[in-house]
Amino acid sequence: MKKLFLYIVSLFILAGCSDEIPEHERPVQSKRAILAYLIANNNLDTDIMNNVVWMYESLAESQDSCSLAIYYKPSSSNNYIEEAQILTFFTDGHGQINGQPALEGSEMTTGNVVEQALKYAAIPGTATDTEVMQANLQAMTDLIPAENYGLIFGSHATSWMPAAGTDIATKSFGQDGTVYNSINIPELADVLEQTFPGNLDFVLFDACMMQTAEVCYELRHATHYCIASVLETPVEGFPYHLILDDLYQEDIDFDKLCEDVINFNKSETEGKWGTYAVVDCEQMDTFASAVKDQIDQHASALENLSLHSIQQYGIKSFSYFSFDVADIIRQLNGGEVPTSFQQILDQTVLAKSCITNHSVFRVDEDRYCGMGMYIPDAVPGNTRWNDYYRSAISWYQAVWSE
């Protein structure tokens, strides 16, 4: 009943501002459209707002026609957006955005970018609520009908770990107002499967710690590619002014994408860090079988494995939530990754790049495979993590359950 109500509300909202939509009967685009679901009702609002400007900057320089829809949930201190809105931008590839000359130079301010957007009231409610998220994503696809989509998620995140932790403020994905307003990854995957019936080309997580086997396995039926970081991410976010145009291409150069993000982080300030990778989620069933085979073959070695010997990606409170998958296999095999496993890994992790320096520990590039995973009971005192991992995470059932 709640879903039906939200759908009816969305129809009224879109109908109420349909006179603002150019070419209201917009044909379905053959070119990929990009959607961004940005939950900025937190301390990232300023940085995420700047990401919107970067996205606009890329559209302004594009030599092709592109469509972009942004769901934006602002904080109360945002000076440009008072409540959740959907912002849309259409560029013709000839210097026009939404039928107006594209902003440039000193005119490209946050206020002017928001002003030039075609704006629609978003479906109200908590941005991480499953029904609200699905209704808003559906509204965005109604505004920009296309054969295929790419989806950017921006907010706080903590990967597979359950949201609303009391001892540690885990967020899974998203933070709308408080640490408790988040969405767990299995529920997020369900929303995407229901909203995008086989036409979601990629999900890009501009959020911390999302490139784990647990996340990618949950998304295997929802999207083709997952672009994310296994480590914490800098607050500035992805450099959309440099990479957004590449995300519209039919065949994305993922190696270039990862390198461009890393090079941007290197150029910003000394001490900036980053790990970025692209995973083919459609390979995750095969990859899970390969990991399970290795674990089954080396069960006795696993019992005696020193967790301190494996490269891991958790910082401070999140220590040991994620170990490098290939490094686990390497340690189980006496220091070498079997060729057969490496071949499957190469078919799954399509691109990766990293900066070795981090404020807490150093990432060993030779042991960085692009994707991490949890080892059950690696944090023995946290029964909440371990119980949730066994009961809710599909990767556990596929790899560890026996």
Burial class (CB in 10 A: 0-12, 13-18, 19+), 266: middle
Is pLDDT at 21 greater than 50 in this prediction? no
Q: Are 135 and 7 in contact (CB under 8 A)?
A: yes
Cα(238)–Cα(142) distance, integer angstroms: 26
Is pLDDT at 374 greater than 50 in this prediction? yes
**43-46: long-range contacts, CB 8 A cutoff, minimum separation 24:** 43/75, 44/154, 44/155, 44/156, 44/235, 45/74, 45/75, 45/77, 45/78
Is pLDDT at 234 greater than 60 in this prediction? yes
Is pLDDT at 204 greater than 60 in this prediction? yes
pLDDT band with cut points at 50, 70 and 90 for residue 233: very high
Is pLDDT at 17 greater than 50 in this prediction? no
DSSP character for 90?
E
Question: At 20, phi and psi to the nearest 5?
Answer: -90, -10
Q: Tell me the pLDDT of the chain averaged across its residues.
A: 91
Domain boundaries, the chain: 28-281, 285-351+364-399
Q: Are 321 and 314 in contact (CB under 8 A)?
A: yes
Q: Report pLDDT digits (tens) over 278-294.
A: 999 999 999 999 999 99
Per-residue pLDDT at 163: 86
| 3-class SS letters over 82-102 | CCCEEEEEEECCCCEECCEEC
Residues in the chain: 402
Is pLDDT at 390 greater than 80 in this prediction? yes
Find the mean pLDDT for residues 2-12: 50
Q: How large a percentage of the chain has pLDDT more than 90? A: 81
pLDDT band with cut points at 50, 70 and 90 for residue 26: low
pLDDT band with cut points at 50, 70 and 90 for residue 303: confident
Torsion sign (Cα): 51, 282, 192, 183:
negative
Could you please state the CATH topology (level 3) that the domain comprising 28-281 is classified under.
Answer: Rossmann fold (3.40.50)
Angle at 208 between CA 205 and CA 212, to 5 degrees: 75
Hey, is 361 helix, strand or coil? coil
Find the mean pLDDT for residues 240-252: 97
Torsion sign (Cα): 305, 311, 317, 318:
negative
pLDDT band with cut points at 50, 70 and 90 for residue 24: very low
What is the Cα gyration radius of the chain?
Answer: 21
Find the mean pLDDT for residues 164-189: 85
Is pLDDT at 203 greater than 70 in this prediction? yes
Q: Report pLDDT digits (tens) over 118-143.
A: 999 999 999 999 999 999 999 999 99
Cα(214)–Cα(220) distance, integer angstroms: 10
pLDDT band with cut points at 50, 70 and 90 for residue 31: confident
Angle at 373 between CA 371 and CA 379, to 5 degrees: 145
Nearest of 113, 19, 105, 17 to residue 68 by alpha carbon: 113
Per-residue pLDDT at 14: 52
Give me the torsion for CA of 399, 228, 155, 1, rounded to 10°: -50
Cα(356)–Cα(354) distance, integer angstroms: 6
Contacts of 139 (CB under 8 A, 6+ apart): 10, 13, 14, 86, 120, 122, 123
- In the block, residue with structure tokens 């900057």: 57
pLDDT band with cut points at 50, 70 and 90 for residue 227: very high
Find the mean pLDDT for residues 368-393: 94
Nearest of 321, 312, 293 to residue 400 by alpha carbon: 293
Q: Report pLDDT digits (tens) over 63-109.
A: 999 999 999 999 999 999 999 999 999 999 999 999 999 999 999 99
pLDDT band with cut points at 50, 70 and 90 for residue 165: low
Cα(96)–Cα(102) distance, integer angstroms: 5
Q: Within 13 Å of residue 40, how many CA atoms lie on the same side as its CB?
A: 32
Hey, is 400 helix, strand or coil? coil
Q: What is the separation, in whole angstroms, between the first and last Cα of the chain?
A: 39
Hey, is 297 helix, strand or coil? helix
Per-residue pLDDT at 259: 97
Find the mean pLDDT for residues 230-242: 95
Please report the beta strands in 209-306, taking only residues with DSSP state E, as ranges in sequence order: 225-228, 274-280
Per-residue pLDDT at 127: 98
Cα(324)–Cα(322) distance, integer angstroms: 7
Q: Are 183 and 130 in contact (CB under 8 A)?
A: yes
Per-residue pLDDT at 273: 83
